[in-house]
Amino acid sequence: MQKILECVPNFSEGKNSQIIDQIALQIKSVPNVKLLGVEMGESANRTVFTFAGEPESVIEAAFLAIQKASELIDMRQHLGEHPRIGATDVCPLIPISGISMEETVVLSKKLAQKVVEKLEIPIFLYENSAQNPKRQKLEYLRSGEYEGLEKKLQNPDFQPDFGKNIFNPKSGASILGARNFLIAYNFNLATKSVEIANKIAQKIRESGYLDKEKNVRIKGTCQAVKAIGWYIKEYGFAQVSTNVTNTNVTPLHKVHEQVCEFAKKYETSVIGAELIGLIPLKVLLETAHFYCQKESKMLPESESEQIEIAVNYLGLNHLGSFYPQKKIIEYALKNQ
């Protein structure tokens, strides 16, 4: 089996396309690596890259991208809706085929070491690479964001896994780690209310919310799901932004059903969705099966027809056409 590693770095720049183009050129310059997607978000002021290929080549491409971001992005000037801690905010590595999670963890540490040695950017390890259980969660490492980073670095309990606890004002810090495939899926709401979006997010996300009257944390309805609410200026509506970290635990169609249900309770509705990055084929096929069964419809034999059903139910055509050859990871790798 061919060894394929995926990398999905998130950079704190979503407005200046020239900067993004220069980062993309670094990735494209590495042989045996395929750049699969570049998605800029103006309100979030953030861009998500997706590339994959031979593991060692992916590590080289990731380093070059981080290096270019450190040259071109100045966190002292950065403002955006999305939480962030540095110019390269987070850089996950995902084993796709022929490579184990354990091998991916080793590669994440190799990348972290190189970034520290060459760029002097403090590195925190998360997910499967975390050396401390409480550091597995991205939101823990990102709490306080860039603005609180200098102070947090002085905390003995918040020392970098690689590098010194010296604040880098231009680049901040970066979070690296090996993780399972994650689906970044944003629900578009028929409202501008961030308050409603946040209430829905609190109800569904695994971490839930704090009931202040009872002083207890109420768990959300969807395990392995992270969610926040925000307003997207360029779209003119609020979103419930979710990260589905394990579709074997909570299928995407369940998250969709739950968001729709809570949206109705708050007197709004889901009008569509936005997929950031790529999605595995099996997730869409499972979605088609679920909705055909729910609506007592016959499931088509054709894979393309099943994909069309899933895309329509999930609202993935809301902000633009959904192209399976570009957005489904198996298809994208095959067609590059």
- CATH label of the domain that carries residue 79: 3.30.990.10
User: How does residue 1 score in pLDDT terms, banded at 50, 70 and 90?
Assistant: low
| Same domain flag for 205 and 65 | no
From 78, 82, 253, 256, active-site residue:
82
Q: Which amino acid is at 48?
A: V
Considering the entire predicted model, what is its pTM? 0.79
| Same domain flag for 117 and 22 | yes
| Same domain flag for 261 and 158 | no
Alpha-carbon dihedral sign for residues 121, 122, 128, 131: positive
| Same domain flag for 51 and 161 | yes
Query: Alpha-carbon distance 336 to 333, whole Å?
Result: 6
| Same domain flag for 98 and 192 | no
Is residue 82 pLDDT above 80, yes or no? Answer: yes
| Same domain flag for 259 and 118 | no
Of 159, 178, 197, the position where a domain reaches its end is 178
Give the pLDDT confidence of 148-179 residue by residue, as tens digits: 999 999 999 999 999 999 999 999 999 999 99
- pLDDT value of position 86: 97
User: How does residue 43 score in pLDDT terms, banded at 50, 70 and 90?
Assistant: confident
| Same domain flag for 124 and 251 | no
272: domain CATH number is 3.30.70.670
| Same domain flag for 160 and 221 | no
| Same domain flag for 215 and 257 | yes
Tokens of residue 210, six digits? 């704090």
Domain count for the chain: 2
Query: Alpha-carbon distance 47 to 17, whole Å?
Result: 10
Average pLDDT, the chain: 95
Of 118, 147, 178, the position where a domain reaches its end is 178
Cβ(313)–Cβ(270) below 8 Å:
no
Query: Alpha-carbon distance 116 to 67, whole Å?
Result: 11
| Same domain flag for 253 and 295 | yes
Residue 253 annotated to the active site: no
Name the residue range of residue 131's domain.
Answer: 4-178
